Amino acid sequence: MARSDITVDLGAIRRNARTLLRALGGAELWAVVKADGYGHGAVDVGGAALGAGATALCVATVQEGLTLRRALGAVRVLVLGPASSREIAEARDAALELVIADGEVPEGVRVHVKLDTGMARWGLTELPALSREVVGVMSHFASADCDAAFTELQVERFRSATEAFSHLTRHIANSAGALRYPSAAFDAARCGIALYGASPFGADPAEDGLEPALRWDSQLAQVRLLQPGESTGYGRRFVAERPTWIGIVPVGYADGFRRGLTGTEVRVAGEPRRVVGTVSMDAFAVELDRQLPVGTPVTLLGHGVMAEAHARTAGTIGYELVTGIRSGPDRARRFVVDS
């Protein structure tokens, strides 16, 4: 039996894609499926997004792009990260598109030149003379989730710098940009986290019409009664003040349930229960209100358990949590086509 099960609702992926397309008002949706589709499965998610109207897939590395090419055939794939000389040759052979941020445009491969408008990570300070290999110009938002003034400034910087290149595909918006800034739509938007139904703003995804696509389930592997003064877990961080039932869930930080999630809530038999004590490498404890049988279902994500709430407890973002969930021989991942 798997210690936990990961279920990805591809129907939710398609509905989220359509929500983003409506927000974009005619601009193309390019689905970002790097990091194995934010932990959801890049090939399956990519196929679902394309089926719902996305026109390209975006990845971080050439190797990720090659995986999509082998699995999905002749789809448009854009590699967002830097590539070595060997990887450029591989991209050329596989008809992948590359992002160039250093001004050196390789021959024989479709290229998007990246302009830095305020992110100060990858990108040129000004656009060079563009060769025939260049099919797009792009930039990236630094704070579309939290700083409207700076985001609008980036939009205007990008618009001004690319006016002479309106015959090329222009793209700057991410998920937050697509949902909040109509002026940022241009020709296409590269959307990741919203496609998976998580909020780029750390809020309830339903506020933007998004549906979480991932559900992560486990079960109680042990149930025990702590007497007053007894503790559970490393460091004795939880000490019972009264007779207290606790359940042990066979999932821990090695599986992606982070050590900082002590204090968050999961659902046990459909009811919210608090995670107590130290999260171990392969187990954590929940406080119960009564004795429950071993095998009682525990929902770690989905069905009312939101990545955004976990992220607030752990002092991080939902992106980091969902990309950190690991599937494997003892953590099965399955896909639901419609729900």
E-strand ranges in the chain read 4-9, 28-32, 56-59, 77-79, 97-100, 111-114, 134-138, 169-173, 188-191, 214-219, 222-226, 231-232, 238-239, 244-249, 265-268, 271-276, 284-288, 297-301, 331-336
Whether residue 176 is predicted with pLDDT greater than 60 in this model: the reply is yes
* Predicted pLDDT of residue 331: 54
* Predicted pLDDT of residue 334: 74
* Predicted pLDDT of residue 132: 87
Whether residue 330 is predicted with pLDDT greater than 70 in this model: the reply is no
Kindly give, in sequence order, each residue whose CB lies less than 8 Å from that of residue 180, ignoring residues fewer than 6 positions away.
144, 148, 151
Q: Give the three-class secondary structure for 261.
A: helix
- DSSP letter string, 49-64: HHHTT--EEEESSHHH
Mean pLDDT of 24-47: 96
Mean pLDDT of 81-94: 95
Burial class (CB in 10 A: 0-12, 13-18, 19+), 245: middle
* pTM of the full structure: 0.92
Whether residue 148 is predicted with pLDDT greater than 90 in this model: the reply is yes
Q: Looking at 38, 181, 196, 234, which residue is catalytic?
A: 234
* Predicted pLDDT of residue 201: 93
What are 30-41's pLDDT values in tens digits? 999 999 999 999
Whether residue 329 is predicted with pLDDT greater than 70 in this model: the reply is no
Distance of CA 81 to the CA centre of its chain: 16
- In 3D space, the residue among 269, 215, 216, 214 whose CA is nearest the CA of residue 247 turns out to be 269
Q: Give the three-class secondary structure for 37.
A: helix
Determine the residue type at 320. E
> Binning pLDDT at 50, 70 and 90, where does residue 326 land?
confident
Q: Looking at 34, 196, 253, 319, which residue is catalytic?
A: 34
> Binning pLDDT at 50, 70 and 90, where does residue 338 land?
low
Helix, strand, coil in percent for the chain, rounding step 5:
30, 25, 40
* Predicted pLDDT of residue 123: 85
| 234 a catalytic residue | yes
Kindly give, in sequence order, each residue whose CB lies less than 8 Å from that of residue 25, ignoring residues fewer than 6 positions away.
182, 185
